[in-house]
Structure 1
Amino acid sequence: MRAIACIELLFLALAGLTACDRSSELLLGGNPDEIRTIAHLKSLCEGDCVTVTQDITLRGFVTANDCFGEFYKTLVIQDPSGGIAIAADHPELFLDYSVGDELTIRCNGLVLCEYGGKVQLGTAPVDDSGAGRIPRTELERYLRRTGRIADPIPVVTTIPQIGQSQVDTYVRLEGVRFTELAAWCDTDPLTHRTITTERTVEDGAKNAFRVRTLGSCIYAKEPVPSGTGSLSGIVDCFNGRYSLRVVNREVVFAPTATPPKACP
């Protein structure tokens, strides 16, 4: 029931913005009939990569960005139907697209790519690592801020409940603990740089789940918190392996880790 209530709150907040802000449709040349859901857009990816040729417009809100280095050159957008990651070639996305911003996204000309079983939105791929990044100079052509909601509310879920429908959505795991008290990320012994690392958390029933942290994260060298608490983040998936990627360092443990610094 709690998860359903959170989803309803998110939907009502987004619906309210949609009703109040019609000017954005005119600015983007949009039509209310063209607004589609993220789930509908993702369903069009029939193959490795598909160029969007229809006048499809999304309206969603930002649930993750690169504020703490947790999502490198990536925005995660969510609407009531689900979420999707957008690849963008911008070194400081958080300055232009904050968590909680409502975005209208014109998809015609962009490319849907399935990578590791997950659909991404961007440009034609330049290698085998998924969708290419939308050039910074073209971001405003496709992405437009049209409002803002209050801070997004993660849907409380449990480890056994996580599945494909929650990929790229904002969730919270409660009553979990890290099984290994180490730094968030390992350090490469040759380069001495932090590298993307997966740690494991488990709940009271010993259900285990991966927590994946990029080496670019500004708290990568700090220790994970001890004790039991909650983690809020985006559900990721690669080749059927699910993981959680923390957003905005939303880690509430007792005792807690060092409070986060302001965005770089």
Structure 2
Amino acid sequence: MEIMKLIVISKFFIGCFFLQFLLQGCIKQFDLPPAYEGTSVQANTSIRSLYDSHIAGNAEKFVDGEIITGIITANDENDNFYKTIVLQDSTAAITIRLDGFGLSAHFPLGMRLMVKLNGLWMGEYGGMLQIGGSIDRSDPMFTELLPVAAPLFSKHLLGVQMEAMPNPIDVTYHQLNDSLHSRLVRLSNIEFAIADTAKSYGDPINKLTISHSLKFCTGGTVYLRTSGFSSFAAITTPSGSGAIVGIYSEFGSQRQLMIRDTNDVQLKQNRCLGIGPSVLFFEDFEQAIPNSILKLPNWNNLAESGKLFYQVQSHQNNQFASISALGTNESALISWLVLPSIQLNQTVGEQLSFLSRDAFDNGASLQVLVSSNYDGKGQPWKARWTNLRANFSKGASGGLGPSWVKSGNISLSNLNGLIHIAFRYTGSDLGVPAVKKNTQFWVDDVKITSQ
């Protein structure tokens, strides 16, 4: 496929992925595609081939008469998808940006749609490959993919007929990958994190998009994003487990899901029963930005003494939290990594577990602590903490330890209410090698469960 290429630097994602206007009364009329009339036009390429031809970071104009077809699996019917439709064929799915309101009346779910791509553009918007009508180069630092203008709908979009909706693809946490971008998927054995239950899906007052954590019962997190403009923004999230259907996406390394309406959410079972202990919290650091200071929602990464912070590192395709005083040239280092708050009032038999691994051990220490009076915002060293007995990897003085070490199941059952768990590293890197304590520690798969 001969295409024109233009290198694009993706804009930093600011605010809500799908914005909406406060006033929608002045809706422009646009030329509609011929609906349900059939067409002699035939697709000559697949959606998967578009992904295969795309060069990451580029915007590409279609000039060779490419035509795709597929079934519409998402639209703006309930205002959670803004000025977009999602088209899926047997190979893949892609989002099409359209500059119009009330799209669902003319592009309903289940419609087979032909898209004449000649003259349109393909590029990245919010990190996702999408189809648009043009590009905006007014900002010399960025090139933006713009939606297809309303007067061009009838030229490029041909409604063929109504068909059965494709069945969502059943996938597990570990099967989620970029080949599923924009696909209709079903995630089973999943539930909202306790902190995200009984919360409104979106923010209908301030019209803000809200992300809620969805936890797989066997471990792993996906974030459900809901627009504050959606018709169901004020509805509260359920507390049970079950299955959820939605359009899968990724922003950076964060795995995300968007639903069409609350019928996509079928969480009516007891929380994770029959699948082992109920997972109250799980973090494997796979969604964190690699090779950077660790930053995750509601976590605190703070230095009590010195300027050492926990980092995100990877080894053998696995990400984890890492810390070492090596190279700091500081005499006294104390660094804290504090988990988000955990509510224990409604659970019993809670246990904490994690994995650790050490390297070049020369005496630095890593502890795991618990507090019932830390507010989650201030300096943790000013709160009261209790040391928890855990197995830590240690003694690998000549290099990296041979394997990850399990902490064991650390009981939290004597605690109630809101608690915080923290890792505290103590080390130094000043003076002759004999007095330095700059052991490197890795931490992964932090999990809190209940019976």
TM-score (norm 1): 0.79
3-state SS, counterpart of residue 160 of structure 1: helix
| Structure 2 partner of 1:12 | none
- Using CA pairs below 8 Å that are at least 6 residues apart, which structure has the higher relative contact order? 1
Partner Cα distance (1:140, 1:248) in 2: 28
Corresponding residue pairs, total:
225
Q: Is the partner of 2:174 in helix, strand or coil? A: helix
1:158–1:173 contact (8 Å) kept in structure 2? yes
The residue number in structure 2 matching 1:39 is: 48
Match of 2:237 among 224, 229, 240: 224
Once residues 81 and 150 of structure 1 are traced to their aligned partners in structure 2, the CA distance between those partners, rounded to angstroms, is: 17
The amino acid of 1:183's aligned partner reads S
**What are the superposed Cα offsets for residues 223-242 of structure 1, whole Å, 9 maximum, x if unpaired?**
11121122111101222322
The aligned runs of 1:78-227 (5 Å cut-off) are 78-126=88-136, 130-179=144-193, 180-181=196-197, 182-186=199-203, 192-227=205-240
Q: Which moved more, 1:161-170 or 1:214-223?
A: 214-223
DSSP-derived class of the 1:42 partner: helix
Deviations 1:103-137 (A, max 9, x none): 01100000011234421101223376952111122
- Which residue is equivalent to 1:6? none
State which of 264, 267, 284 in structure 2 corresponds to 1:253: 267
Report how far residue 253 of structure 1 moved.
Answer: 2.3
Give 1 or 2: higher helix fraction: 1
State the one-letter code of the partner of 2:68.
L
Question: Structure 1 residues 22, 44: CA separation in 2 closer, same or farther (over 3 Å shift)?
Answer: farther
Check conservation: 2:38, 2:161, Cα contact below 8 A: no
So what's the TM-score if we normalise by structure 2? 0.47
Separation (CA, whole Å) in 1 of partners of 2:170 and 2:260: 14
The 1:129/1:170 distance shift into structure 2, 3 A limit, reads farther
Where does the alignment leave 5 or more consecutive residues of structure 2 unmatched? 1-35, 270-451
When structure 1 is superposed on structure 2, of 78-87 and 146-155 the one drifting more is: 146-155
Structure 2 CA distance for partners of 1:58 and 1:251, relative to 1, 3 Å: same
Percent identity reads: 25
Structure 2 distance, partners of 1:83, 1:131, is 18
Aligned to 1:247, the other structure's residue is in SS state coil
Which structure is larger by alpha-carbon Rg, 1 or 2? 2
RMSD: 2.1
Q: Secondary structure, in 3 states, of the residue corresponding to 2:259? A: strand
Deviation at 1:23, TM superposition (A): 5.3
Letter in 2 for 1:108: N
In structure 1, distance between residues paired with 2:126 and 2:58: 10
Give the Cα separation in 2 of the matches to 1:22 and 1:56: 21
Partner-residue secondary structure (3-state), 1:108: coil
| Preserved contact between residue 48 and residue 115 of structure 1 (Cα < 8 Å) | no
In 2, Cα distance between equivalents of 1:155 and 1:119: 20
Could you say if the C-alpha distance between residues 206 and 45 of structure 1 is closer, same or farther in structure 2, counting changes exceeding 3 Å? closer
